[in-house]
Copies of this chain bind each other. A is one copy, B any other.
């Protein structure tokens, strides 16, 4: 059993089950561990990655550079998650993968993963499914940024991060790590950092949620999720 393999297996099992032998094949996967400094790119536009990435510590993000020079964050990735499984079957990156804070990542060579995909159909289905769930999440981000008001959108993002942290085993009760700046959150929500600040105060004062020192604490899930019109179905989490 390897650290990277076990991490990937646990992540995939958020979305479904697989037989013991398929699981064993995933667990046997191994690779290199790397440190990535905050705001450093792991992969850039145009590259063709030769490894898949696993988040071990920290927070990753996927982003692209908007026409106005501002960044658009497409998604954040928590420890335990796999941000870029799609590189297995796409020719080149059309966006950036970077560390939002100082992070530790695992890199498993594509070749090894291809072997598992060929030999273990159930493992393959779960890997495929994970890439499909990511697509569903992107769609939800589209809805969020297009159709929610600023307070609702922020609430929605916080709901999502909390649920994903729980799925990754990072949350105890109603708290989870959220080591991002308001600036980065604003890049995700497509608004200004100033406005994120004001909306955050609004949520805080309403007693729905707290966010200090890199820790997110949900005070009133019902209020928060109602404000966000949050329905977790799109995450396709098992259980």
Closest partner residue, chain B, to A129 (CB atom): B89
Contacts of A136 in B (CB 8 A): 86, 90, 94
A residues 33-89 touching B (CB-CB < 8 Å): 45, 62, 64, 66-68, 70, 72, 74, 86, 89
Contacts of A129 in B (CB 8 A): 89-90
Tell me, rounded to whole Å, the shortest Cβ–Cβ distance linking A76 to chain B: 13
Main secondary structure of the interface of A (DSSP, over half): helix
Known interface pairs A90-B236, A132-B86; A72-B142 also in contact (CB < 8 Å):
yes
Copies in the complex: 2
Question: When the two chains form their complex, are residues A67 and B142 in contact, meaning their CB atoms are under 8 A apart?
Answer: no
Task: Render A132-150 as a binary contact track against B, CB cut-off 8 A, 1 for contact.
Answer: 1111101101110111100
Question: When the two chains form their complex, are residues B147 and A68 in contact, meaning their CB atoms are under 8 A apart?
Answer: yes
Contacts of A94 in B (CB 8 A): 136, 139, 233-234, 236
Task: Render A83-109 as a binary contact track against B, CB cut-off 8 A, 1 for contact.
Answer: 000100111101100000000000000
Taking residues whose C-beta sits less than 8 angstroms from the other chain, chain A's interface range is 35 or more
Contacts of A139 in B (CB 8 A): 62, 64, 74, 94-95, 138
- Give the residue among A86, A118, A128, A148 with the most B Cβ atoms within 10 A: A128
Given A66-B148, A72-B143, A132-B135, 7 more contacts at CB 8 Å? A67-B147, A72-B142, A90-B129, A90-B136, A128-B128, A131-B135, A145-B146
